[in-house]
Chains A and B, each alone.
Chain A
């Protein structure tokens, strides 16, 4: 066992990258749930984003266009969910599960021609001399642009929810859709937009896996990250900064256990592999013990006539 082989600076830098897919998907889902909609289709929207981003990046040679395509793909798939739950008033849980299964199947079909291809690489942002600062340089200034976009989205979502009227109306719709309707707010429209935002974020999260984390396409490559993102939103008590904390915790332990495996620690690999899930859930359960409750209308079907 050789723990000195683990470089803490590289570990922190790597965990930020490992956490980004979950962070993006969970932030999107947070907005959806704050608007009162429970979309269990995160996994399906992520995998669709992964293949859309991958395919378009390969065809155009531009990873940036790939990410845009991933966001569009995720949002389009989420529109299906919005149609089912907001227009035809279908059950949200069943529709979300169906969306995941549909997304997994459709992505396998779309990705048939892309197995074994290497996508164009997205270069890291060049911060010039900033990257040479000891410790901080490699941690903060040595990443690809999407990672910063992810952090920016968290900050923007937090600020919008807390300080703007748009955020207030969104929270109001999620808290009590009947009252919001009585005051004249367009519940279905607001929720549809929130669902599309969630889909776009999940799509980008998926593309981050297929274009940056594991630059290749394999079927089902999101491997349950969408479900972790869903759990993260709940355990983070629907608060953006806690989602960031939870995502980094999960990413960090994932990296750490990989390093520990590499260093040959005398713990069975299975225990190490499950540790990110266990520790993240334990920490967030402890954090969520305070009385911040779920949005009042979460998962309830809204019908304007009642």
Chain B
């Protein structure tokens, strides 16, 4: 196989951290090459250098035999590099065609472009209407916009950054069909992911990064997922375990909960019902943007619900705000760490005070007991192994994984009767994720009821007793996780959303 892109000794340092240290890798023509690594391993920095968004400090790149150092994305695109971003680089208020035109060098007239979009979307089985406003599209459809934007420029190297994190299993299968078609046409693909089974199914070769360095390469087909995971993490992983306590009485009951979304491009909740028992973990899966944030807001009390739709131990709590619910024992930890779960510029002590005041007795007659709050923050830091110099540090200064441990620990240590968490291990390294999962399991074992909303299906399968999926604001009926197949889960999540297999 001839070589298309080769990187030699690429190094990029930011103040205080070396993001990439002497990285060398090579991608052949028509090869699907996986770039594996945990969050913070330097994958994003590496592809940003290839795409011209970041300049390397040293090292060299060659593309098709010629020296390649794109000063800006425009130059990279001109050379034949296309990129599908992890956090979509789309404009909500603009139409599909306008979004695609913005990513092209010399975009044709709008109606010609619309025709070409329909053509390409037909060929590769990615149905998309050029006139729709992007803000109204589902996450899977948004990704199609990005992919088609790249395909229209006939790229020779396609970079995909975590493309499947927003797709249902059926959509993933169809995406892989499309990618295999592209490989057949000679397009090389650099595929970034930490989902090992996907890499084993799709990729020809893999390079594993840890803390900015290449720590190994492998042929994914011939390597077990466990071996790859250990190369990625650098130590042997322990899987969380539970003792399997019997479930108690029903504590939280949702009965036909329907609420409009507070944001313009949000998803309303439609007739959501479930009953949660003491000691149970209910996993709620689903593609992002199908009502997860709204469900968390409805359960935490940020959004009030009409009387009767939401009951805690038989008592209607729909009209109560977060503080009242916390008093009763219904606690929540939202997805967004900085800005929602924690105030970025406040210290850990202050952040501990913010949600702990009611249940930990940190407040008396309107006066705040700071020494007690500091003690509470210190307890969280110790119990959850939060790496920080001390509780006086600002929440912003912690790494994502450490702050997540703090945010989850803060709720767990308040002895909740019901705990609702959204994406508890998002962007957290594997060992911290395992610790958080274990804490949730321990909490359930001690008799609390836990709702885990997550997009990580493996996580949900690992810790939850029952599984349900959100799709367009509707919740499927919860089913026991034991014996649930990937196919069944996919169907609960809404199946293929009208995608079809590419017919080239």
Q: Is the CB of A183 within 8 A of B103?
A: yes
A163 to chain B, nearest CB (A): 9
Chain A interface residue bracket vs B: 10 to 19
| A305 nearest CB neighbor, chain B only | B14
Please, which residues of chain A bring their CB within 8 A of the CB of B103? 183
Rounded to whole angstroms, the CA-CA distance of A255 and B91 in the bound complex is: 42
A291 to B73, CA, bound (A): 34
Q: Does any Cβ of B come within 8 Å of A184's Cβ?
A: yes
Cβ distance B139 to chain A, nearest Cβ, rounded Å: 15
**A171 CB within 8 Å of chain B:** yes
The residue in chain B whose Cβ has the minimal distance to the Cβ of A169 is B102
Select A168's contact among B53, B73, B90, B98, beta carbons within 8 Å. B98
Which of the residues B73, B92, B98 comes within 8 Å of A183, measured between beta carbons? B73
| B94 CB contacts on chain A under 8 angstroms | 168, 171-172, 175
The answer, among B72, B74, B102, for a CB contact under 8 Å with A172, is: B102
A291 and B88 CA atoms in complex are apart in Å by 23
Check if A175 sits within 8 Å of B101, measured CB to CB: no
B58 at the interface (CB under 8 A from A): no
Given A168-B98, A169-B102, A293-B264, also A175-B92 (CB < 8 A) = yes
> B53's closest neighbor in chain A, by CB?
A182
Is residue B93 within 8 Å, beta carbon to beta carbon, of the partner chain? yes
With A184-B73, A291-B264 given, is the CB distance from A168 to B93 under 8 Å? no
A165-B107, A183-B102 known; A176 and B91 CB under 8 Å?
Answer: yes
- CB neighbours (8 Å) of A291 from chain B are 264
Q: Is the interface of A mostly helix, strand, loop or mixed?
A: helix
**Contact indicator A176/B92 (Cβ below 8 Å):** yes
- Is there a chain B Cβ closer than 8 Å to A179's Cβ? yes
Contact B107 A182 (CB under 8 A): no
Asked if A299 lies at the interface with its beta carbon under 8 angstroms from chain B, I say: no
Q: Which residues of A contact B52 (CB under 8 A)?
A: 184
Tell which of A168, A178, A295 touches B102, judged by Cβ atoms closer than 8 Å. A168
CB pair A182–B85 under 8 Å, yes or no, is: yes
- Name the interface residues of B77-106: CB closer than 8 Å to any CB of A: 77, 85, 88-94, 98, 101-103
Contact A172 B73 (CB under 8 A): no
Counting CB contacts under 8 A, is A296 at the interface? Answer: yes
In the complex, the chain B residue whose C-beta lies closest to that of A292 is: B93
Within 8 A of A (CB), among B97-144: 98, 101-103, 107
Q: Are B72 and A296 in contact, CB atoms less than 8 angstroms apart?
A: no
Closest-CB distance, B145 to chain A (whole angstroms): 12
Contact with A along B253-294 (1 / 0, CB 8 A): 000000000001000000000000000000000000000000
A178–B98 Cα gap in the complex (Å)? 17
B102 and A296 contact, CB distance less than 8 A: no
Instruction: Give a binary string over A155-166; 1 marks a CB under 8 Å from any B CB, 0 the rest.
Output: 000000000010
**B102: which A residues are within 8 A, CB to CB?**
168-169, 172, 180, 183, 185
Alpha-carbon separation in the docked complex, A61 to B73 (Å): 51
CA distance A169 to B101 in the complex (A): 10
Task: Report the separation of the CA atoms of residues A293 and B98 in the bound assembly, to the nearest whole angstrom.
Answer: 17
CB distance from A261 to the nearest CB of B (A): 44
**Chain B proximity mask over A224-260: 1 for CB below 8 Å, otherwise 0:** 0000000000000000000000000000000000000
Q: How far is the CA of A185 from the CA of B92 in the complex (A)?
A: 17
Q: Give Cα distance in the complex from A180 to B73, angstroms.
A: 11
* B89 partner, pick from A171, A183, A293, A295, beta carbons under 8 A: A183
From A168, A176, A184, A296, give the contact of B74 (CB < 8 A): A184
Task: Give bound CA distance, A291 to B265, whole Å.
Answer: 11
In the assembly, what is the distance between CA of A182 and CA of B54, in Å? 11
A168 to B53 CA separation, bound complex (whole angstroms): 22
In chain A, what residue has the closest Cβ to B76? A184
Residues of A256-306 at the interface with B, using a CB-CB cut-off of 8 Å, are 291, 293, 295-296
Least Cβ–Cβ distance between A182 and chain B, in angstroms: 4
Taking CB as reference atom, which chain A residue is nearest B77? A184
Is A182 a contact partner of B93 (Cβ separation < 8 A)? no
* Interface pair A296/B92, CB less than 8 Å apart: yes
Complex interface: chain B residues within 8 A of A168 (CB): 94, 98, 101-102
Residues A182 and B264 in contact in the complex (CB < 8 Å), given A168-B98, A172-B102, A175-B94: no
Determine the distance from Cα of A42 to Cα of B256 in the docked complex, in whole angstroms.
51
CA separation between A8 and B375, bound complex, in Å?
77
Evaluate contact between A293 and B107: CB separation under 8 angstroms. no
Contact A179 B91 (CB under 8 A): yes
- The smallest C-beta distance from A66 to any residue of chain B, in angstroms, reads 39
A165 cross-chain contacts in B, Cβ below 8 A: 101, 107
Q: Which residue of A lies closest to B99 (CB)?
A: A172
The answer to whether A182 and B92 touch across the interface, beta carbons within 8 angstroms, is no
A35 to chain B, nearest CB (A): 13
Q: Which residue of B lies closest to A291 (CB)?
A: B264
Interface string of A168-207 (1 = CB under 8 A from B): 1101100110111011110000000000000000000000
A168 to B107, CA, bound (A): 11
Cα of A296 to Cα of B93 in the assembled complex, Å:
8
Given contact pairs A172-B102, A176-B90, A182-B73, enumerate 4 new A-B contacts (beta carbons under 8 Å). A168-B102, A172-B98, A180-B102, A184-B72
Interface positions of A (Cβ within 8 A of B): 165, 168-169, 171-172, 175-176, 178-180, 182-185, 291, 293, 295-296
The 4 closest A-B pairs by CB, nearest first: A184-B73, A179-B89, A175-B91, A182-B89
User: Can you list 13 pairs linking A and B with CB atoms under 8 Å apart?
Assistant: A169-B102, A171-B94, A172-B102, A175-B94, A176-B91, A176-B92, A179-B88, A182-B85, A183-B73, A183-B102, A184-B77, A185-B102, A296-B91
